[in-house]
């Protein structure tokens, strides 16, 4: 198996872990009574599942066997909403670096179809990091209790399926 294909297989699992992490965050927010945050992270989890399926289908289209591995258990407690969002941002930065590494490897191995396939993900990761930076900034502005948090929670609850 080419190194690019091995990295693509690993990425399926990274994306599934992302969904698992965001679902854990959704449960954390629901438990704290922040249903808007909870819904927002549930939608985010579904989006990550879609990303996993894109990698999965790309491998199948290339005729490469998909090899699923164990998905690590994410943590389920954070000290605050801000800590959870900060961790999500750091997680997205890690995912970005993983995807960029797949692209670099694809170019080195002459896997131009995979390199082109990753173009959508390059743009998606820029957007993901931006969204989490904005959410973190909003939390820093409004604080983590009181009216500001209540209003931010209501706003996040308006997020639809994308």
User: What is the structure's pLDDT at 162?
Assistant: 57
User: Would you state the torsion angle of the CA atoms of residues 109, 125, 66, 114, taken in this order, to the nearest 10 degrees?
Assistant: -30
Q: Which residue ranges of the chain lie beneath pLDDT 70?
A: 1, 161-162
CB atoms within 10 A of CB 30: 15
Q: What distance in Å separates the CA atoms of residue 16 and residue 8, rounded to the nearest whole number?
A: 13
User: What is the structure's pLDDT at 159?
Assistant: 81
User: What is the structure's pLDDT at 146?
Assistant: 87
Q: What distance in Å separates the CA atoms of residue 29 and residue 35, rounded to the nearest whole number?
A: 7
User: What is the structure's pLDDT at 97?
Assistant: 98
User: What is the structure's pLDDT at 161?
Assistant: 62
User: What is the structure's pLDDT at 57?
Assistant: 98
User: What is the structure's pLDDT at 144?
Assistant: 82
Token pair in block for residue 130: 């931006």
- The 8-class DSSP code of residue 34 comes to -
| Domains detected in the chain | 3-156 (1.20.1260.10)
Residues 6+ apart with CB under 8 A from 73: 20
Q: Which residue has the tokens 């080195």?
A: 108
pTM to 2 decimals?
A: 0.94
Q: What distance in Å separates the CA atoms of residue 72 and residue 17, rounded to the nearest whole number?
A: 7
Query: Which parts of the chain fold into alpha helices (H)?
Result: 3-31, 35-61, 81-108, 112-117, 119-142, 147-156
Residues 6+ apart with CB under 8 A from 117: 58
């Amino acid at each position: 198996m080419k190194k690019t294909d091995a990295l693509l297989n690993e990425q399926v699992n990274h994306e599934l872990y992302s969904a698992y992490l965001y679902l854990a965050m959704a449960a954390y927010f629901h438990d704290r009574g922040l249903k808007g945050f909870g819904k927002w992270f549930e939608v985010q989890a579904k989006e990550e599942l879609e990303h996993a399926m894109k990698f999965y289908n790309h491998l199948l289209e290339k005729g490469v066997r998909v090899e699923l591995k164990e998905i690590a258990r994410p943590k389920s407690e954070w000290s605050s909403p801000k800590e959870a969002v900060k961790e999500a941002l750091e997680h997205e930065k890690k995912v970005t670096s993983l995807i960029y590494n797949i692209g670099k490897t694809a170019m080195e191995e002459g896997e131009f179809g995979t390199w082109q396939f990753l173009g959508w993900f390059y743009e998606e990761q820029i957007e993901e990091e931006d969204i989490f930076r904005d959410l973190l900034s909003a939390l820093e502005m409004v604080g983590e209790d009181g009216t500001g948090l209540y209003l931010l929670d209501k706003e996040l609850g308006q997020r639809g399926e994308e």
